[in-house]
A and B are shown apart, each in its own frame.
Chain A
């Protein structure tokens, strides 16, 4: 009964896609983007960055001002939403309030002239996967938020579409349910293996669910890569600050060459750069840069510190159980550190700290672009969702696009 839709799913390609609202408000401007068939790709960005508009352009609910959209080899830019063979899950679910769950699931199939037997087969399949069997005769208002969410997913599933489009589908749920549904969605994608394009402003959702993330800002894609790569090698200051919780520490300073060694120098900080960083560096000495340090790359030396380690005063301690977030007040500014376990740290204590020299991020202070080339490749996809059989086709599709 577990149907795999990968055979039907198509890669989605956006080519020179632009959307202008009014006279000159450019809300989407994407030069080129390929969403490989069967992948879970997230459009991530702050509100107003154009991610939902991009999704609506793919759905056909908005018409692009310029550019083209392809599903596989088929150009769909001028194809009506109902004929694009896609399904969409909305933030507010958009279930038809006057229809039962069964009728909600069936409506799209009827409009596409699917035979009665086949309709029933798909509804049975979707309601088994999503555990909707007992809810089929209820109206949407008689369902909880999570149940409505599952019906919305079911309505998309029964269509057996080429691509699923999901517009912040978890944002109306409470925190506990959101976690549950996140896991459900990952499982669902694993089960049906179809292309999923997911829009969210929540970087945790994006990181935990996606195989690829497109970080968007002001209508443009800032970086499009595997979640691990985006986290470890952010291409810009914006991407670095948007991904990660608590946020990355940022300090303005200069690259200074001294005795043949490059240093990052700021007020109260003189940090020699490790060879691992210098190898990847593309900016000359004298460049004004922003240093980025992830909280987990800040090392607190509670016992036995390096001799010249700077010292910070503890201002905030947040014990979360498996980890503790410590904020220090230092000469360079606030430093947030993430340490494993629950540390007995007192407020106002003076603690020496240092940065993991191999895992620093450097950005051009003016443009915000990273001045480090990406390092060694991270794993190409999350292990549990990529199989040896699928990888070659993925690579081929990526190259052909």
Chain B
């Protein structure tokens, strides 16, 4: 009986293991292929008999990418916009979450649901109205345009996740700080925000990754080469003359690095953040 049970458990574990690794393989292989391609020379890239690993290892593509394209400028644009959007969502999300958990006001529940509703709209629906608004504000083709749009798109998620965090902080901490003489803002910054750091980091990463990889909004709002973000920049390797696979893949690898870094080093915090968020989605 016990042996039977153990055998069944073994099969079960094996099955889950296999499926998990298949999924990982499907997800990771393109990245691996990009890395592998970026390290080959042109001959090898277009060879009809590709190998899994480069035969002649070369960094030539990276050199070309840096020399020929506007990569450093685009990298810096993307970084400023992604960090700006993330900080902005964390900041406004925290303020919103604080007010939603600490004050009672008319239409509180409704406002929270409406915020969520905006999250459900596909971005494409918002393209035209958003473009008109930003054009009227004379903000198109600027960092501000993308930071505003990414903040608006990411704020619902940020608000909901941070609300869950703020809700889990006992109200007595606020009260203790108030009795200690702190103002509401001081209470928020000195006492509550430090408790919500895991949630704030999670939101930061989420919005960073979204903003970093976004193609749609820069395509619509950015026109000058100097303001281009990396996803737009990648597209310049695919031109009328054909595809420059080597530099394109090199740019792709560098493009993916910050995201890989964020996930690798701050993953544990991210998981904690998701855990807290999951509990909060239930009404």
Contacts and interface: CB of A to CB of B under 8 A. Distances in A.
Interface stretch (A92-100, A231-239, A337-345): A92-100
Contact of A90 (B175, B181, B186, B190): B175
A81 B175 contact: yes
B179 A88 contact: yes
Interface in A87-141: 87-88, 90-92, 94-98, 107-108, 111-112
B176 A90 contact: yes
Nearest to B172: A94
Given A96-B173, A107-B190, A86 B195 contact: no
A61 B195 contact: no
A94 B182 contact: no
Contacts of B190: 96, 107
A87 B179 CA distance: 7
Contacts of B195: 97-98
A83 B178 CA distance: 9
- Interface size of B as a range: 10 to 19
Nearest to A111: B181
A82 B176 contact: no
Contacts of B186: 111
Contact of A111 (B170, B173, B182): B182
A314 B190 CA distance: 62
B199 to A, nearest CB: 14
Nearest to B180: A108
Question: Which of A56, A61, A87, A155 has the largest count of B CB atoms less than 10 A from its CB?
Answer: A61
B182 A96 contact: no
Contacts of B182: 82, 107, 111
Interface centre among B170, B172, B190 (most CB of A within 10 A): B172
Interface in B50-105: none
Interface of A: 56, 59-61, 80-84, 86-88, 90-92, 94-98, 107-108, 111-112, 155, 159
5 contacts: A61-B175, A81-B175, A96-B173, A96-B176, A108-B181
Interface of B: 170, 172-173, 175-183, 186, 190-191, 194-195
Given A61-B179, A98-B194, 9 more contacts: A60-B179, A82-B182, A92-B172, A94-B173, A97-B194, A107-B180, A107-B182, A108-B179, A112-B180
